[in-house]
């Protein structure tokens, strides 16, 4: 009986130390997400066809890419953006969950015309930020850029993919 207790105590001790050791040494590895230029996007005034801005862009096309977007990034250079491409043109809604810096969210229809904008979307905000009209594309850029550019509904975009 004494031997059984000793074995039970030793076994319990081993399990406890394994468990403590396991949690004490547990490390969460995170790798910072970095920008990868996949194309270029130009924004033009609708009335004059004059160039407003040229951006290096990443594309978000897969379900994972569109769900993740710019989440978990610390910042983005002002000459960069992310273009989300969807199969269907319909009203879209974005939110800022796990996005660490403010953005302007620009909704674009299948004719590549700006249909609405959300200016200065706040970091980490889970509030739904819907488009005012159906959109096939969504462009995310640093907050304040759409104001700086004087971007308006009806302005045009065009984009190309890097080779």
Percent of the chain with pLDDT over 70: 80
Best CA proximity match to 97, nearest among 119, 67, 63, 131: 67
Banded model confidence at residue 34, pLDDT cuts 50, 70, 90: confident
> For 116, phi and psi rounded to 5 degrees?
-170, 165
Question: What are the tens digits of pLDDT across the range 78-135?
Answer: 999 999 999 999 999 999 999 999 999 999 999 999 999 999 999 999 999 999 999 9
Residue in this structure with the two tokens 């949690």, named with its chain if needed? 23
Sorted by sequence, the CB contacts under 8 Å of residue 10 that are 6+ apart come out as none
- Give me 70's structure tokens: 């710019």
Give which of 76, 78, 96 is closest to 36, Cα–Cα: 76
pLDDT, mean of residues 69-79: 94
* Per-residue pLDDT tens over the stretch 140-149: 999 999 999 9
Strands (E), the chain: 39-44, 51-60, 80-90, 93-94, 103-108, 114-121, 129-130, 135-142, 156-161
pLDDT at 151 over 70: yes
Q: Which domains does the chain have, with CATH numbers?
A: 39-161 (2.60.120.1140)
């Amino acid at each position: 009986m004494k031997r059984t207790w000793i074995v039970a105590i030793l076994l319990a001790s081993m399990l406890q130390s394994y468990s403590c050791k396991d949690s004490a040494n547990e490390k969460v590895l995170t790798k910072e997400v970095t920008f990868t230029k996949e194309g270029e996007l130009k924004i033009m005034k609708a009335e004059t066809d004059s160039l407003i801005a040229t951006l290096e862009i990443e594309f978000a096309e897969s379900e994972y890419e569109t769900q993740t977007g710019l989440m978990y990034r610390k910042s983005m250079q002002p000459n960069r953006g992310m273009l989300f491409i969807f199969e269907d043109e319909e009203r879209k809604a974005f939110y800022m969950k796990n996005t660490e810096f403010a953005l302007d969210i620009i909704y674009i229809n299948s004719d590549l015309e700006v249909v609405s904008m959300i200016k200065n979307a706040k970091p980490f905000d889970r509030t739904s930020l819907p488009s005012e009209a159906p959109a096939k594309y969504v462009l995310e850029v640093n907050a304040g850029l759409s104001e700086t550019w004087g971007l308006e509904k009806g302005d045009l975009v065009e984009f190309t993919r890097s080779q």
